[in-house]
Amino acid sequence: MLYEIRILQPNGGASTLRLDAANVEAAAEHARRQGYGVLKIRAMNSFLGWASADERSFSLGLFSQELLMLLEAGLSVVEAIETLSEKESKPGRRRLLGEIVRHLYEGQSLSQALEQFPSVFPPLYIATVHASEQSGDLPVALGRYVSYQAQLDTVKKKIVSAAIYPLLLSTVGLLVMVFLLAYVVPRFSRIFGEIGGPVPVMSRLMIRWGTLVHDHGWSLLLALSAGLAILVLWLLQASTRQWIVVQLGALPAIGERLRMYQLARFYRTVGMLLLGGTAIMAALQMASHLLQGAMRRQLAASTQRIREGMPISTAMESCGLTTSVSLRMLRVGEKTGRMGEMMERVAHFYDEDIARWVDWFLRLFEPLLMAFIGIVIGAIVVMMYFPIFELAGSIQ
């Protein structure tokens, strides 16, 4: 979600900052971490927002891969970004890279330059670059981020590809039902109206529906279009998406998998930050936006206990942020001093478990969906032809 923030700068001046964040609290927290005072926050629709189309389509993963290759080839950071700017064909992206180069020539570090564009470079990316500047291993950090983003994309692609067939099946079934109800049934209703005679209750309802569509088709179409437009606008709201996630989370099986998905992203993010040299408290704070609702409050309580000296595994277990597997792996990480690596292993374990569950769920859901669509379409067809069967029986 894109937010416009009216900020108070350290020198006393006021200005406007626009950035992407999960919610209002995350947007305000990001502004405060940069040293600004927050005066006012306003949500903006992403498709009507400030960022140009080129900036919104800026591929952070591709930028990181190309920058990594140029750095490994021996170019300096400034030379590498200048090269990327020169090859860029989109004016908005070229202007963005040119602004980064300008900040670098002014003496700012790469992380400071990237901070000027929060709608393009998320806090996690900036923190990764900043930690690498302290240790002098920017190529290693970029490689780690590229791998991190690839793992996240792999999970998303698995879920999206698994959902394509049920979505396509539902769309085709819905189109067939709309065709029957909006085109075939009205024509049958006129025939039945001319024939007359007693018909079953359900068939009578079908005839009345066909008559309604025939007499007020355009009005129904306009009402349906307005309803769909309102539904789409409602679904585009961030609060709506959060409400849907909460409702899905209340379902026994699906809710547990949503919880594991959030934990997988959280553990992977914290693990990457720890491997990059970020302190544990800062890493937990930066990854907190990946958790929603009650889980974010659980993380806040866990963070407070860690700050008071409680071991990470114990604090997370007491706040419900672990499973039996992740708890054991976190304890191993504490004993061996490889907490970042263990957190990434936990995330990988969760990802594999989610992938297996999605595959099982779709194997069960697809036949049930096909049977449901078949029953509905079959019922419509039977109700249309039932008066004809009755008429044929009466003639005999």
Residue 61 sits in which domain range?
A: 55-121
Under DSSP, the state recorded for 278 is -
On whether both 69 and 167 belong to a single domain, the answer is no
User: Which two tokens mark 245?
Assistant: 């996630």
On whether both 71 and 187 belong to a single domain, the answer is no
Is 280 part of a structural domain of the chain?
yes
Q: What is the DSSP string of 47-78?
A: GGSSS-HHHHT--HHHHHHHHHHHHHTT--HH
pLDDT of residue 394: 56
Specify the CATH number for the domain of residue 32. Answer: 3.10.20
Cα dihedral 310, 312, 315, 321, rounded to 10, equals 180
Is 129 part of a structural domain of the chain?
no
Q: Is the pLDDT of residue 197 over 60?
A: no
Q: Which of 187-191, 208-212, 302-306, 373-377 has the highest mean pLDDT?
A: 302-306
Is 145 part of a structural domain of the chain?
yes
On whether both 274 and 322 belong to a single domain, the answer is yes
On whether both 210 and 320 belong to a single domain, the answer is yes
On whether both 80 and 228 belong to a single domain, the answer is no
On whether both 91 and 198 belong to a single domain, the answer is no
Is 132 part of a structural domain of the chain?
no
Q: How far apart are CA 196 and CA 180, in angstroms?
A: 22
Cα radius of gyration rounded to whole Å, the chain: 28
Q: How far apart are CA 30 and CA 242, in angstroms?
A: 20
Q: Is the pLDDT of residue 131 over 50?
A: yes
Coil/strand/helix, residue 171: helix
Specify the CATH number for the domain of residue 64. Answer: 1.20.81.30
As a whole-number percent, the residues of the chain with pLDDT over 90 amount to 3
Domain tally, the chain: 3
pLDDT of residue 289: 77
pLDDT band at 331; cut points 50, 70, 90:
very high
pLDDT of residue 231: 87
On whether both 77 and 154 belong to a single domain, the answer is no
pLDDT of residue 241: 73
- Are 180 and 381 a contacting pair, CB within 8 Å? yes
pLDDT of residue 46: 43
On whether both 344 and 229 belong to a single domain, the answer is yes
Cα–Cα separations (whole angstroms), residue 113 to 54, 96, 170, 282: 19, 11, 47, 20
On whether both 42 and 60 belong to a single domain, the answer is no
Coil/strand/helix, residue 89: coil
Among residues 261, 266, 262, 301, which one has the least CA distance to residue 286? 266
User: Which two tokens mark 301?
Assistant: 């309580």
pLDDT band at 332; cut points 50, 70, 90:
very high
Q: Is the pLDDT of residue 304 over 80?
A: yes
On whether both 26 and 82 belong to a single domain, the answer is no
Q: How far apart are CA 98 and CA 312, in angstroms?
A: 42
This prediction has a pTM of: 0.64
Mean pLDDT across the chain = 79
Q: How far apart are CA 356 and CA 365, in angstroms?
A: 14
pLDDT band at 393; cut points 50, 70, 90:
low
Q: What is the mean pLDDT of residues 192-203?
A: 61
pLDDT band at 147; cut points 50, 70, 90:
confident
Q: How far apart are CA 92 and CA 57, in angstroms?
A: 10
On whether both 293 and 153 belong to a single domain, the answer is yes
Cα–Cα separations (whole angstroms), residue 371 to 176, 360, 380, 381: 15, 18, 14, 15
Residue with tokens 């894109």: 2
Label each residue of 195-233 as H, E or C.
HCCCCCHHHHHHHHHHHHHHHHHHHHHHHHHHHHHHHHH
Q: What is the mean pLDDT of residues 222-227?
A: 88
